[in-house]
Structure 1
Amino acid sequence: MTQVMEEFVRILTDVVGEDLLLDAEIGADTSLSGELALESIEFVALFEKLSGHYAEVDFPAFLAGMGLDQLIDLTVGDVVSHIEASPRGGARA
């Protein structure tokens, strides 16, 4: 597991709580709306925390470029890949 993936899982746990993640094994193919069943408020909270942690990553542009189906199908790996591909290579804020 990469450092960015580990940080993502930690931030996700902060947002949704440890109990919700006990039954789910988080991997690159894990769907935010499918397996994790994130509600819209949790989705927003997750990306707010990610934006605070990875200030150099343009999450609003990343999400704005997606259609509804893409947002519904968004996976942990999609987000982690976006962070790692950022100009700072996922460097922490």
Structure 2
Amino acid sequence: MAASHQEIVELLRQVTGEDEDWAAGVTPSTRVDTDLFIDSLEIVELGARMRDVYGVDLPSYIGGLDLQQLIDLTVADLAELTAA
């Protein structure tokens, strides 16, 4: 089951503890690292939730990215990952 942009934003909101106003500003092109400043503990929690809900291995995916790809990782990329 592929996730929508909004479903990924909701997971991000849950792991960061942000409110719905924050979530409203997150678009598909929002970059996880450089726009949202998601830290490593939040990435671990996001990975656990994505694994539980979508069967996605986010840590392995992220581990295969080079530095520029990691910097450029967007919310849309996370949603697309769930479709793979």
Sort the TM-score into its range (normalised by shorter chain).
Answer: 0.7 to 0.9
Runs of 4+ in 1 over 3 A off after TM superposition: none
Q: Aligned equivalents of 2:27 and 2:43: distance in 1?
A: 17
Aligned to 1:74: 73
Partners of 2:18 and 2:46 in 1: CA distance = 14
TM-score computed with the length of structure 1 as normaliser: 0.72
Separation (CA, whole Å) in 2 of partners of 1:20 and 1:36: 14
Partners of 2:9 and 2:26 within 8 A in 1: yes
User: Does structure 2 retain, via aligned residues, the 8 Å contact 1:31–1:76?
Assistant: yes
Q: What does the per-residue CA deviation read over 1:38-60, in whole Å, with 9 as the maximum and x for residues that have no partner?
A: 111111211111111112x3434
In structure 1, stretches of 5+ residues that fail to align are 87-93
CA-based RMSD: 2.3
Q: Which has the higher helix share?
A: 2
Is this contact kept in 2: 1:24–1:35, CA < 8 A? no
Larger RCO, structures 1/2 (Cα 8 Å, 6+ apart): 2
Unaligned 5+ segments in structure 2 are: none
Cα distance, 1:23 vs structure 2:
7.6
Q: 1:54 to 1:30 in 2, by over 3 A?
A: same
How many residues get paired? 83
Matches within 5 A, 1:11-50: 11-19=11-19, 22=22, 25-50=25-50
State the identity as a percent. Answer: 34
